[in-house]
């Protein structure tokens, strides 16, 4: 893939990069039985969004459908496979009860205030009730909105496949995320560095509200709207905050804690997001807006996955600090409601205790350490493990998976084989082995096999699926979806399970992923 010079903003704001698709009035479909839409977000009122006409996608076709999310939403797979569903989720026809809208937000991009942004290519259809609570359903890539600025409102097939697969992979890894219901494609042309084709991902979440929604109203001194938004989020998603003496400070603290848990999740699986702008930070602590993300191959703490991030602001090892910086922006935005600076700072402080605790808990599980953490300080062991991986740039996923079997001679040898500097390995292995011997081996191994995935969406796997899809072969996507939805299983039934879980090929190092999507 060609590298992209400049930042996301330069690409979007360059008229030569855009292609406008025609508007058309959509027809209405019939709803399948039992599908009742509401839209709590719309109740916020017109300051928060613009009703959004659908922009049809030319001759859509199915690329993939996700039965797991369909079940969660109460949609039958037969209906989801229908031509009607395709029309609905390509954005070509309205489902009754939906009232599509695009929301307005602002944000800090690459550390700078970027002003008004908004759903430039996302359309919220509405919300479906599920036993797990309301799930908003949003189309990404469904055409221009008042917030598209110079963008075309579309998403290309390549980035849509990556979002579709990765959000499901994250969910299966136990990391909070938006999810993906289905992926529709079209031969409509979309101009990026090259001409590509368009796709629409249908994604779901309890809410798509971002830090940037709060920043938007705060920076515009619209404090009544800011309060309405904060009350909405508290009432629907953080009800316990309502009982606090200062509900808005409690909200900031709760979001800080969820974000801390999220960062611990990302760091523990080697996930780099790539564009942690405040408009890409979920108020629910979900992973959102999959763009130039990457799972680490070799453990290189300073790894930068986004070709557009020339300063390395969003490098892997900077993510936890950037999340804190972003929370600070949220705190700043909430200050008119919290009123006292000290209280806001106090609420943010919780991040500094929750993040290390959450990370330590995840890493102890990865190391198979079961016994009470209070009895043993595992911090030095955790640090020496990460230092060893970094010093020798060991493959992150393969190391942790092989470590599951460290207690057997063959398993130990398989781990040792990863290291060129054998004395360094042996010194660490003595330290780890002594600690591991204190655990019940069967229980420890079971925990590790359920914590250290065999499969993650490495860049080259995504790339292989993208290349096949560009030739209209969508089978790789479905195969990867299945594997990534149960990443702790061995999947020996697949002839290529070893390749899917193996080292990246040499060409993987040349894959360049930018903000262009």
Q: Does 289 bind ligand AMP (CB under 6 A)?
A: yes
Stretch of residues binding ligand AMP (CB under 6 A), selected from 119-127, 165-173, 307-315, 362-370: 119-127
- Catalytic-role residue among 23, 27, 243, 279: 279
Query: Phi, psi at residue 3, to the nearest 5°?
Result: -75, 155
Query: Phi, psi at residue 133, to the nearest 5°?
Result: 115, 180
Query: Phi, psi at residue 314, to the nearest 5°?
Result: -105, 30
| Residue 476 binds: one of ligand AMP, Mg ion, none (C-beta under 5 to 8 A by kind) | none
Kindly state the smallest distance separating residue 272's Cβ from ligand AMP, in Å.
15
Task: Determine the size of the site formed for ligand AMP (CB under 6 A).
Answer: 19
Residue 103 and residue 42: Cα distance in Å, rounded? 9
Q: Does 309 bind ligand AMP (CB under 6 A)?
A: no
Cα-Cα-Cα-Cα dihedral sign, residues 204, 207, 211, 215: positive
Residue 339 and residue 448: Cα distance in Å, rounded? 46
Q: Which residues bind Mg ion (CB under 5 A)?
A: 280, 289
Q: Does 280 bind ligand AMP (CB under 6 A)?
A: yes
Q: Does 292 bind ligand AMP (CB under 6 A)?
A: no
Task: Name which of 152 and 289 has its Cβ closer to Mg ion.
Answer: 289
Is residue 83 exposed (0-12), middle (13-18) or buried (19+ Cβ within 10 Å)?
exposed
User: Using CB under 6 A, which of 118, 185, 368, 487 touches ligand AMP?
Assistant: 118
Task: Name which of 87 and 279 has its Cβ closer to ligand AMP.
Answer: 279
27-28 and 93-94 strand pairing: parallel
Stretch of residues binding ligand AMP (CB under 6 A), selected from 81-89, 111-119, 485-493, 495-503: 111-119
Task: Name which of 136 and 395 has its Cβ closer to ligand AMP.
Answer: 136
Kindly state the smallest distance separating residue 277's Cβ from Mg ion, in Å.
7
Listed in sequence order, the residues at least 6 apart from 305 whose beta carbon sits closer than 8 Å to its beta carbon are: 272, 274, 292, 293, 294, 314, 316, 513
Residue 200 and residue 320: Cα distance in Å, rounded? 31
| Residue 156 binds: one of Mg ion, ligand AMP, none (C-beta under 5 to 8 A by kind) | none
User: Using CB under 6 A, which of 64, 106, 148, 501 touches ligand AMP?
Assistant: 148
Query: Phi, psi at residue 197, to the nearest 5°?
Result: -110, 160
Residue nearest to Mg ion (CB): 289
* Residues 48 and 135: beta-carbon distance below 8 Å: no
Residue 290 and residue 361: Cα distance in Å, rounded? 26
Helix (H, G, I), strand (E, B) or coil at 179: strand
Kindly state the smallest distance separating residue 153's Cβ from ligand AMP, in Å.
5
Kindly state the smallest distance separating residue 275's Cβ from Mg ion, in Å.
7
User: Using CB under 6 A, which of 55, 121, 401, 436 touches ligand AMP?
Assistant: 121
Residue 44 and residue 406: Cα distance in Å, rounded? 54
Under rule CB under 6 A, which residues in 352-411 are in contact with ligand AMP? none
* 309 catalytic residue (yes or no): no
Kindly state the smallest distance separating residue 279's Cβ from ligand AMP, in Å.
6
Give the up-direction half-sphere exposure of residue 196: CA atoms within 13 A in the CB hemisphere.
24
How far does the chain reach from its first CA to its final CA, in angstroms? 12
Residues lying near ligand AMP in the complex (CB under 6 A): 8, 12, 117-121, 147-148, 151-154, 275, 279-280, 289, 291, 515
- List the catalytic residues: 279
């Amino acid at each position: 893939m060609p590298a992209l010079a400049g930042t996301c903003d330069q690409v979007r704001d360059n008229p030569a990069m855009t292609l406008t698709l025609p508007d058309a009035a959509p027809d209405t479909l019939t709803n399948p039985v039992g599908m009742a839409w509401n839209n709590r977000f719309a109740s916020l009122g017109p300051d928060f969004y613009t009703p959004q006409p659908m922009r049809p996608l030319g001759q859509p076709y199915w690329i993939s459908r996700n039965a797991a999310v369909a079940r969660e939403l109460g949609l039958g797979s037969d209906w989801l496979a229908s031509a009607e569903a395709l029309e609905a989720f390509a954005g070509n026809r309205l489902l009754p009860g939906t009232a599509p809208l695009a929301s307005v937000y602002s944000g800090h991009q690459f550390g700078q205030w970027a002003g008004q942004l908004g759903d430039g290519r996302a359309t919220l259809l509405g919300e479906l009730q599920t036993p797990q609570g309301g799930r908003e359903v949003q189309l990404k890539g469904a055409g221009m909105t008042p917030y598209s600025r110079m963008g075309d409102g579309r998403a290309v097939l390549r980035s849509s496949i990556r979002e579709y697969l990765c959000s499901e992979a994250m969910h299966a890894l136990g990391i909070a995320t938006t999810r993906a219901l289905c992926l529709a494609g079209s031969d409509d042309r979309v101009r990026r560095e090259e001409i590509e084709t368009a796709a629409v991902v249908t994604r779901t979440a309890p809410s798509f509200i971002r830090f940037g929604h709060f920043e938007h109203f705060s920076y515009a001194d619209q404090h009544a709207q800011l309060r309405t938004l904060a009350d909405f989020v508290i009432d629907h998603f953080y009800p316990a905050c309502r009982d606090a003496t200062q509900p808005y400070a409690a909200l900031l603290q709760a979001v800080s804690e969820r974000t801390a848990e999220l960062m611990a999740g990302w760091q523990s699986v080697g996930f780099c997001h790539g564009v942690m702008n405040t408009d890409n930070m979920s108020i629910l602590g979900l992973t959102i807006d999959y763009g130039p993300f990457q799972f680490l191959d070799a453990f290189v703490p300073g790894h930068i996955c986004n070709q557009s991030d020339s300063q390395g602001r969003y490098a892997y090892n900077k993510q936890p600090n950037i999340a804190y910086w972003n929370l600070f922006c949220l705190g700043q935005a909430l200050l008119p409601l919290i009123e006292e600076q000290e209280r806001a700072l106090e609420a943010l402080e919780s991040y500094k205790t929750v993040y290390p605790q959450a990370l330590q808990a995840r890493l102890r599980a990865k190391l198979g350490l079961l016994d009470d953490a209070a009895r043993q300080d595992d911090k030095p062991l955790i640090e020496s493990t990460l230092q060893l991986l970094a010093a020798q740039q060991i493959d992150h996923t393969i190391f942790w998976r092989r470590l599951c079997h460290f207690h057997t001679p063959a398993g130990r040898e398989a781990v040792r084989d990863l290291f060129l500097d054998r004395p360094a390995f042996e010194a660490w292995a003595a330290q780890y082995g002594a600690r591991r011997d204190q655990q019940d081996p069967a229980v420890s191994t079971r925990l590790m096999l359920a914590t250290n995935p065999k499969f993650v969406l490495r860049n080259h796997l995504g790339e292989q699926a993208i290349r096949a899809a560009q030739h209209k072969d969508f089978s790789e996507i479905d195969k990867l979806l299945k594997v990534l939805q149960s990443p702790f299983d061995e999947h020996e039934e697949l002839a290529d399970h070893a390749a899917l879980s193996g080292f990246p090929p040499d060409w993987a190092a040349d894959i360049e992923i930018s903000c262009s999507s």
